[in-house]
Amino acid sequence: MSSITITIDNFESEVMQSASPVLVDFWAPWCGPCKMIGPLIEQLAEEYSGRVKVGKVNIDEENALADQHGIASIPTLLLFKDGALAGQKIGVAPKHEIEAMFKNYI
């Protein structure tokens, strides 16, 4: 399963009410570092399908959602578990660092 698009309309159901951990990537199409990390995020979505939900928030289209979560730099990865923020990483990171964000929750 690939990543899902997270919007202000589905954030509550897809992220806050999710039974599994949710990794949310706040990104924009014009962001170079976002383009670098994008394929890695998709790879993790495939590898951890069924155990970790991976979502992407385009901050240009979902500015209110980005503001709500205090996103000041992109890419920003937020990890949610049981409706609560469980981790955060700002900027490009190697795969093992991103995996370390959710490994203890699956």
Q: Please name each of the domains of the chain with its CATH number.
A: 4-105 (3.40.30.10)
DSSP 17: T
Band the pLDDT of 1: cuts 50, 70, 90. Answer: low
Known active-site residue 34: yes
Q: How far is CA 80 from CA 18, 19, 32, 44, 46, in A?
A: 9, 10, 25, 16, 18
Q: What is the pLDDT of residues 2-42, one digit of tens each?
A: 899 999 999 999 999 999 999 999 999 999 999 999 999 99
The active-site residue, picked from 4, 8, 28, 31, is 31
User: What's the pTM value of the predicted model, to 2 decimals?
Assistant: 0.96
The active-site residue, picked from 34, 57, 71, 74, is 34
User: Mean per-residue pLDDT for 55-65?
Assistant: 97
